[in-house]
């Protein structure tokens, strides 16, 4: 039996993304999930089989990976779903504690957890505030900040910055030959509508609200 690791979708975004990809995987689709599909008995059986394989759910992606999955190692976990940047930045900890690296695996369909930046337009926002917001956005997107983000394992959005750039501490380069990092993450799933997310959460909660959960 595969020993699976995942955070709780009611407490952690990576857990929600995991069960979303689970639904897309079952239907072999990339977009357009419906509430009816989530309620399908065939899907719910598959859903229960996969979620039932979770050794112990986590509460927070970073602390769960470090303090539960890496700490207990392959004796308790074969595979876990989490963010790419956490895998890359926790490699040293895994090697130090378990004597082997975390091996990133990219499924056939992925979701990018991006960080939107919005500049509001309305009667309550004046031009000075909007200008300040634009200046802050430009600061975040500048090459210097984007290269600093590489060190935390985040992929750059500035086209002049690449994951292979020679930046001190860049976890995308210099890893063990066993660690294969995708140059681009494709294909990407469409984020489902709010009604679908609510139904996924309901079905999970109905079955796993009281499931064994790590303190992390």
pTM: 0.91
Q: Domain residue spans in the chain?
A: 4-112+185-208, 115-176
pLDDT class of 114 with cuts at 50, 70, 90? confident
- Across residues 54-68, what is the average pLDDT? 96
Please state, in angstroms and rounded to a whole number, the distance separating the CA atoms of residues 157 and 118.
Answer: 16
Q: What are the b/e assignments for 116-146, b being 16+ CB within 10 Å? A: eeeeeeeeeeeeeeeeeeeeeeeeeeeeeeb
List the structure tokens of 106. 């990219």
Closest CA to 66 of 38, 98, 37: 98
d(CA 121, CA 115): 19
Span 23-48, pLDDT tens digits = 999 999 999 999 999 999 999 999 99
Give me the mean pLDDT over the 132-138 stretch.
Answer: 97
């Amino acid at each position: 039996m595969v020993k699976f690791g995942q955070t709780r979708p009611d407490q952690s975004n990576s857990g929600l993304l995991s069960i979303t990809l689970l639904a897309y995987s079952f239907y072999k689709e990339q977009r357009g999930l419906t509430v009816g599909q989530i309620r399908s008995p065939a899907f719910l059986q598959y859903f229960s089989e996969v979620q039932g394989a979770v050794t112990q759910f986590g509460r927070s992606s970073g602390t769960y990976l470090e303090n539960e999955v890496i700490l207990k190692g392959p004796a308790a976990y074969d595979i876990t779903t989490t963010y790419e940047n956490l895998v890359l930045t926790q490699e040293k900890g895994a090697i130090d504690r378990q004597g082997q690296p975390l091996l990133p695996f990219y499924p056939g369909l992925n979701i990018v957890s991006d960080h939107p930046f919005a500049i509001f337009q309305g009667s309550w926002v004046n031009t000075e505030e909007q200008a300040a917001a634009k200046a802050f956005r430009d600061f975040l997107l500048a090459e210097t900040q984007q290269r600093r983000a590489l060190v935390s394992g985040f992929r750059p959005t500035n086209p002049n910055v690449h994951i292979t750039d020679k930046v001190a501490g860049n976890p995308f380069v210099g890893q063990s030959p066993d660690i294969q990092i995708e140059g681009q993450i494709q294909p990407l799933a469409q984020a489902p509508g709010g009604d679908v997310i609510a139904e996924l959460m309901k079905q999970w909660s109905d079955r796993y609200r009281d499931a064994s959960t790590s303190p992390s």
